[in-house]
Amino acid sequence: MPESVTTGRRPSARRFLVCEPRHFAVQYAINPWMRPDTPVDVDLAQEQWQSLIRAYRSHGHTVDTVEPVPGLPDMVFAANSAVVVAGRVFGSLFHAPERRPESALYDTWFKAAGYDVHRPENVCEGEGDLVWTGRYVLAGTGFRTTREAHREVQEFFGHPVISLTLVDPHFYHLDTALFVLDAGPEENIVYYPEAFSPGSREVLARLYPDAVLATRDDAMAFGLNSVSDGRHVFIAPRAEALAARLDERGYVPVPVDLSEFQKAGGGIKCCTQEIRS
C-alpha cells in the first residue's frame, strides 16, 4: 500500500489572496527568467491561472482577489505584496522601481478587508522572501529583500527571523528555493540546497534535519515554488522527481501547470498570498 494511504496527513483550510493575470506580460527584465522579447500567451496564462484557482477551491481553500491594474504586469505575483501572520500584515517595498506601485494597491485591499498594514522602511518583497514556518520567519536575502528588512520583520512580529543568503540568480526569491510542507507540529520544509550560501545550508540542515531535498531539475521546473496545505502540495507538473518524493512522505501532489508565468520567473506560490488570520 502506498505510504500516502497509510500516513493520513491532514490538510488545513487556507485563505489565499490572488490577482487575475489580465495585464500579465513580460515588459522588463528583473530576473534571469525574463526576456522582454518573449511573447506571453495571455489566454493560456488566464487558463492556467484559472486552473490554479479551481484547484484551490476544490480542495476547500478560500480565494479572494485583488483587482489587477494596467501597466503593472507583475501584479499577478500576489505573494510579493505582504506577509501575514496572525492577522498582522507586513507590507512590501519592491527593489525594482517598475513594481513599486503594487504595494499601495495591495495595502488598500488589506485595509478594506479590515487589516492594519505596516509599511516597511527597507526593501522587502513579502512572501517571496519571508516564509512563515509556524515557528520562525525564514528570510531570504541576496537579491531583493535586505537584511535591514529582516530586522524590521523580527521587531514587527516578535518571532525569530532566520536570515538565509541566496546565491543563485535563478532563485532570486526564497520562495523559488524553499517551501513549507507543514507549519503544524510536524513542521517541515522542502528546499534546494545549492541555492543557498554554505552557512545558510548548514542552518537549514540544523533546523530541519528531516527536510525533503530537491534537485536542480526540480528547482528549474519551479518545483520549490509550491503551496502545501499540510496534505496536498500544489506543484509544477515538471517537478516529477520531487513529486515522487513527496508522495513517499505521505503528501499528495496536485499538479498545476503555470508555464506561461515561468517566463516572468514566477510559479504557483508567487501567484498566491496566504492570509493567516
Which sequence positions are flagged as catalytic? 173, 270
Q: Is 77 in the site for ligand ARG (CB under 6 A)?
A: yes
Q: Name the one residue in this structure whose C-alpha cell is 513517499.
A: 248
Contact 141, 151 (CB under 8 A): no
Q: How far is the CB of 5 from ligand ARG (least distance, A)?
A: 33
- Residue 274 binds to ligand ARG (criterion: CB under 6 A): no
Q: Give the CB-side neighbour count of residue 39, counting CA atoms within 13 A.
A: 4
Does residue 6 contact residue 250 with C-beta atoms inside 8 Å? Answer: yes
Helix, strand, coil proportions of the chain in percent (round to 5)?
35, 20, 45
Cα 179 from Cα 31, distance rounded (Å): 20
Restricted to residues 174-203, the positions that interact with ligand ARG (CB under 6 A) are 175-176
3-state DSSP assignment of residue 276: coil
Confirm or reject binding of residue 266 to ligand ARG (CB under 6 A).
Answer: yes
- Binders of ligand ARG: how many residues, by CB under 6 A? 16
- Of the pair 89, 264, the CB lying nearest ligand ARG is at 264
Q: Which of 80, 92, 262, 273 binds ligand ARG (CB under 6 A)?
A: 80
| Choice between 9 and 234, CB closer to ligand ARG | 234
Minimal distance in Å, beta carbon 60 to ligand ARG? Answer: 23
138, β-bridge pairs: 131, 162
Nearest to 50 by CA among 269, 267, 256, 274: 256
Among 123, 239, 243, 264, binds ligand ARG (CB under 6 A): 264
Q: Which is nearer to ligand ARG, 9 or 25 (CB)?
A: 25
C-alpha dist (Å) from residue 124 to 96, 217, 230: 11, 28, 27
Binding segment toward ligand ARG, per CB under 6 A, in 75-83, 115-123, 210-218, 242-250: 75-83
Q: Which residue has the cell 500567451?
A: 41
Q: What minimum distance in Å lies between the beta carbon of 210 and ligand ARG?
A: 25
CB of 172 to ligand ARG, least distance (A): 7
Instruction: Show the cell assigned to 120.
Output: 516597511
Q: Which of 17, 19, 45, 79 binds ligand ARG (CB under 6 A)?
A: 79
Q: Which residues bind ligand ARG (CB under 6 A)?
A: 30-31, 34, 74, 77, 79-80, 99, 128, 173, 175-176, 264-266, 270
